Structure 1
Amino acid sequence: MNRPPVITHLTGSGQIGTVTLDWKPVSWATVVDHYAVYVLTSGSWKLLGKTVYPHFVHRGLGFTGVTRSYRVVTVDAAGNRSTPSAAVDATNLTSVIVSGISVARVGEFDGKGSELALSPAGYASYPTRFPSDVDYTFGTSTPSSDWSYLLPGPADKWAGSKNHRATFRFDLAAVPEQDLDLALWLIDSHASLAGSAVLTVNGTQVERLTFANGATKGSTIADSTYPGSPLKPSYLERPLPRALFRTGQNVIELFKDNGSWIAYDAFGIYARR
């Protein structure tokens, strides 16, 4: 039996809830049927999945960092298998909702958007329900009536084909001693036009947040956690320098001036322990 080439340059990088694996593809001289990806579980190598690309994302890993070992096998068109690649270790990131202390939030960080306004399928009512967009004050506003489950973008005709803004207000008794962290979790987003939004804190532009494309199902489905859910959750967490904040009311804005909608799981600010 002629074994296909062994995979080389396997690397792994951890994100929130996922690990991304990449490797050097074998040469075109080998007709590859697929690459088989394995993870070490309880002392044995378990088949995690198959892919025709030199890239694989291990999803659903939870929100506390765990180090796992991975390796990849080349399988050619005749069914011949390579020797396994050298193993690589990768650790998914620990979310700030686990490591930090909640300062202010809207939503439950539970993979569902059902507690938010207009959910699960009332997006067409956004222009009349939120004619001046979302303006939410933590401690006073109510998620089910004051925070839309979708933030539309200029690509959305149903929302007026224009830019939209979500404003989140919360109070601080004092300027924080350490940087704070933003947690922006999505249950889904548009499949090809998730786009981006400008993040502003107290009038200072911090950065442009780019959203992962989803499945375009979250406009009508509110739960990403049940078996077989078609939704594609994603997670954005960013440090926010303490110098941006002030005693009293603070204002965070998401200005959606690019692409289509995103569907929230939850939005929050966390302090470090």
Structure 2
Amino acid sequence: MSVKEFFQIKELPFNNAPDLKYYYSSKPHQETLTRLRHVIENRKGFALVTGQIGTGKTTLARLLFEELDPQLYETVLMIVVHSEITSEWILKKICTQMEVENIPSDKPGMLTALYKRLYELNEKGKKAVILIDEAQMLKHRDIMEEIRGILNFEDESGKLLTFIFFGLPELENNLSMDEPLKQRVALKCELKQLDFESTKNYIMHRIKVSGAKYNFFADDAYRSIFEASVGIPRVINTICDNAMFESYLIKEKVIKKETVDQVANDLGLLAL
């Protein structure tokens, strides 16, 4: 008998992959989405979403990408995987993703071609949006200068392209390499950890989505999960997933506080 069969669920609910069907609309996340929609709709140009590891930045970026109607928005989601990319690379990537035809090989040519494409999209009534996840990996001054240059593309109604950066708190320090760019940030949002009630609701939501017929955590287990995870969704998932497996091994269909505490201890987390 597998873990899924033991708990009578269709799939494991606490994987850390950014599966949008498990998205829990906490108040901080919902408020951030509302603010980002405002920035995009009004073509304000540049917004930052920062937060500690595991607070849901990637999920939020993917959710925003999925919800923007392709009939109204030309949206690109870019994920930065290392810190050695150049300004030329990112400019060419933007041109490619924005479907610029016959991309020139030189930077001035690329900028001119990108401007024409953005102007064309604007004439068609489409807003151009670029979401960049792991943006703290953008560490070179010339990249910041390139972004600032693109933000100069505008008309009387606003910017022709809106950037939204998602990253760790150090992202703000990176922006300090180009003070004029930092001054152009129209919105800053910091994703906070979940409080106790949101943590409990988050867990129950994921259990429900997995097809469970009952909430298999004991009432007093939620407090231990919250205290050990300090409300960080990724850590909540790790604790819950391990607790499910340990409970499966000892054939307990209700996961006890003691099991959660042991898992948290094994993971090197503080469980009170």
- The answer, yes or no, to whether TM exceeds 0.5 is no
Range into which the TM-score falls when normalised by the shorter chain: under 0.3
Q: Which has the higher strand share?
A: 1
Q: Which has the higher helix share?
A: 2
* TM-score for the superposition, normalised by structure 2: 0.25
* TM-score for the superposition, normalised by structure 1: 0.25
Larger RCO (CA within 8 A; separation ≥ 6): 2
